[in-house]
Amino acid sequence: MSPDPRSAWRLMLALNALVLIGVFVSKIRLPPYSPYIHLLVDYHFGFVKRALIGALTGMFVAKVPVWTVFAIGGAAWLATAGLFVHLFRRTFTLSEDQRPMFVFMAGSPFFLKNFMHTLGHFDIYGCLFTIGLLLAPARSPLFVLLAALASVVLVLIHHVQFLEYVPTIAVIVILRHYLVVGITRPNLAIGIGALFGLGALFVAVQFYGMMPIPEAEFVHYLQGRMADPARTEFLGFSFIWYQSLAMEFHDTWERLPWNLLGFPVYAVLIWLHVPLWRYFAAMIGALADDQQRRLVIAAIAAVSLGYLVIFATVFDYARWLSNWVVCLFLIMHAVKHLPAAQALPPISAGDRRTRISGWLITLIPRVGIVRPF
């Protein structure tokens, strides 16, 4: 008798949990250079970029210990994982039939495992807020306002969120609110106001958010906020608050030949998710309304275009690619609730190639931050 294929997917979930534990143990042994300094920076010297989380941290602790990076990052990770499980249960259910889908999403090296590896970085907040908006009631104009406020917070946390998760939030607002409710005077006014307001905020943060004092004085202030001022190696990333857009472009394109070597690895990782991409394509093709189908395709293209701009500007390609895939996962949940002309069968649990892809995805612990692995 052939083994029950469903048991293989249960084993994959158990193994994913073990891999996550391994990634966590590996992460807490690494010094959190960039995440820690971000918790030290606040608005003491005026309006600057990447300072919101540090300012909020300063409201609770006068001296920031290093372990705070893992405490705050771990709380954000747990909230994201818990809300995603709830979202998946509501969208697809957690039945045996949907287990392959759950493995391809929750067990993907692009998603929770990579967020564990990047613990302390701010990308996860965009994912967390987006999941929250997927779960929130969406019929009232207050939903549009909530999405706008969430986007403002994300840009203040890190201005790259303007292209990283804010476009996906906009897609979710369109799919969950405007397509259902239609365009009314209140929701149109909030939407237009949010677009202009977010654009102005991004320009202000990007071009006027650099630290206005000499770097030596800035470093001295940060040292005063450290629980252990002797750990000066954590202050090596202070140059971030003095980098212009031109400098970021220069650094990215200078590293481009070396970073391009990782693209075949990224291509293989994306290819391993083919069963999921086929399901997504079938989901879009099954939409009852042709206009909605074209809108979803255009939305995916717009989100992808935003990431291409990020790729041209900042060289942390492994992070950006991972978050792009996560955005596709989240858009899938929004598309699932649109009217479909026909029901789709779940991803086959018994298909041999699908199981092999599931095992490989399970065993890959993460994608990385700058380069693969």
pLDDT-based confidence at 1, cuts 50/70/90? very low
372 in any annotated domain: no
370 in any annotated domain: no
Q: Give the mean model confidence (pLDDT) for residues 168-185.
A: 95
Instruction: Provide the number of structural domains found in the chain.
Output: 1
Q: For residue range 116-139, list pLDDT tens digits in order.
A: 999 999 999 999 999 999 999 999
Name residue 340's beta-bridge partners.
287
pLDDT-based confidence at 373, cuts 50/70/90? confident
358 in any annotated domain: yes
328 in any annotated domain: yes
Q: Which amino acid is at 49?
A: K
Q: Give the mean model confidence (pLDDT) for residues 281-301.
A: 96
Q: For residue range 47-69, list pLDDT tens digits in order.
A: 999 999 999 999 999 999 999 99
Average pLDDT taken over every residue of the chain: 94
Q: What is the pLDDT of residue 3?
A: 58
Q: For residue range 332-362, list pLDDT tens digits in order.
A: 999 999 999 888 999 999 899 999 999 999 9
54 in any annotated domain: yes
Contact 163, 111 (CB under 8 A): no
| Range list of H helices, the chain | 5-28, 33-40, 52-58, 67-91, 99-106, 112-117, 123-135, 141-157, 161-164, 166-173, 179-181, 185-208, 215-225, 245-260, 263-271, 274-285, 290-313, 317-336, 352-363
371 in any annotated domain: no
pLDDT-based confidence at 9, cuts 50/70/90? very high
> What is the secondary structure of 59-76 as a DSSP string?
TT-SSB-THHHHHHHHHH
pLDDT-based confidence at 5, cuts 50/70/90? confident
Q: What is the pLDDT of residue 2?
A: 46
Range of the domain at 287: 5-363
Paired tokens of 363: 């065993």
Task: Measure the CA–CA gap between 228 and 223, rounded to whole angstroms.
Answer: 8
307 in any annotated domain: yes
373 in any annotated domain: no
Q: Give the mean model confidence (pLDDT) for residues 299-306.
A: 97
Share of the chain above pLDDT 90, in %: 92
Q: What is the pLDDT of residue 371?
A: 85
Q: pTM of this prediction?
A: 0.95
Q: For residue range 180-222, list pLDDT tens digits in order.
A: 999 999 999 999 999 999 999 999 999 999 999 999 999 999 9
Q: Give the mean model confidence (pLDDT) for residues 246-266.
A: 91
